[in-house]
Amino acid sequence: MHVMGAEQASNLLWERWAAGRRLAEIPAEMRPVSRADGYAVQAMLERRTAHPLFGWKIAATSTAGQKHINVDGPLAGRLLKERAFESGVTVPFGHNHMRVAEAEFAFRMGRDLTPRWGPITVDEALEATASLHPAIEIPDSRYDDFTVVGAPQLIADNACAHYFVLGSEAPPSWRDLDLAAHPVAGEIVGKVSREGIGSNVLGDPRIALAWLANELSGLGITLRAGQVVTTGTCLVPLEIAPGDHVRMDFGVLGRVECRMSS
């Protein structure tokens, strides 16, 4: 994809994100047509932030997530520091179009994983991890209908990233747990509650972490020490409205919560 086209597409999407407005799709003359094109557009986001990248998200790691945005496999997106919060905060509701909150296993990296020819194994990805955290992702899309634009345009639109809430570090014993079998309870306090399980995330959140490391490796990108990788929703997304109190309970791994601004 031509650099000029990628810049134009990035500018268009960023303007819509900043203004809380949407578009039907990226105009044909600058539209990404492959996953690589989509990532070239997405990479321009790093020019918009004054901080090092907070981390990475994975969209569509669950069957429910794939059906939600109509893709057949996961997509990686960037987490911007300006849009990442600690548990207990009030998160702007704004013009959120998707209107859902997701419960996610998030890993903070302890050392770099640099690009290479061969695959990065799950064990290698875990060895490079410093900590595990419960997390909430509040995604959104800059498209009127995110189910019809396809993977390249969704990747360009930062894989539906919007806001992110990171919980406290889980006890080190998380390494001894079977995260695939680990239950998670999510609720919009006083409204709705749902159960989930780690295996909803590509079969295991640890597998999702390795998927992300390999996706970045294939793009020539280093997954850096200190960055957070949030692995995708482990329960059917919870519908949110302004003023809602969102709480996700990961049992022995901890809890994470936020309120949506009214």
pLDDT tens per residue, range 224-252: 999 999 999 999 999 999 999 999 999 99
Question: DSSP labels for 53-67?
Answer: --EEEEE--SHHHHH
pLDDT tens per residue, range 179-207: 999 999 999 999 999 999 999 999 999 99
Overall domain count for the chain: 1
Judge whether 234 and 66 are in contact, CB under 8 Å: no
Query: CA nearest 74: which of 222, 203, 226, 228?
Result: 203
Residues 19, 23, 27: CA angle, nearest 5 degrees: 125
Q: Does residue 17 form part of some domain?
A: no
Kindly state the DSSP code that residue 258 receives in the 8-state scheme: E
pLDDT tens per residue, range 154-171: 999 999 999 999 999 999
Q: Which domain holds residue 78?
A: 51-260
Q: Does residue 27 form part of some domain?
A: no
The domain that holds 91 is classified in CATH as 3.90.850.10
Answer yes or no: pTM beyond 0.75.
yes
Q: Does residue 105 form part of some domain?
A: yes
**Cβ neighbours of residue 123 under 8 Å, at least 6 residues apart?**
none
pLDDT tens per residue, range 96-147: 999 999 999 999 999 999 999 999 999 999 999 999 999 999 999 999 999 8
Q: Does residue 40 form part of some domain?
A: no
Q: Does residue 25 form part of some domain?
A: no
Q: Does residue 222 form part of some domain?
A: yes
Q: Does residue 7 form part of some domain?
A: no
Q: Does residue 98 form part of some domain?
A: yes
Cα dist from 129 to 62, 112, 115, 184, 210, whole Å: 22, 9, 16, 21, 11
**What does the pLDDT read at residue 3?**
79
Query: CA nearest 205: which of 116, 87, 119, 104?
Result: 104
Judge whether 157 and 217 are in contact, CB under 8 Å: no
Residue 258: band (very low, low, confident or very high) from pLDDT cuts 50, 70, 90:
very high
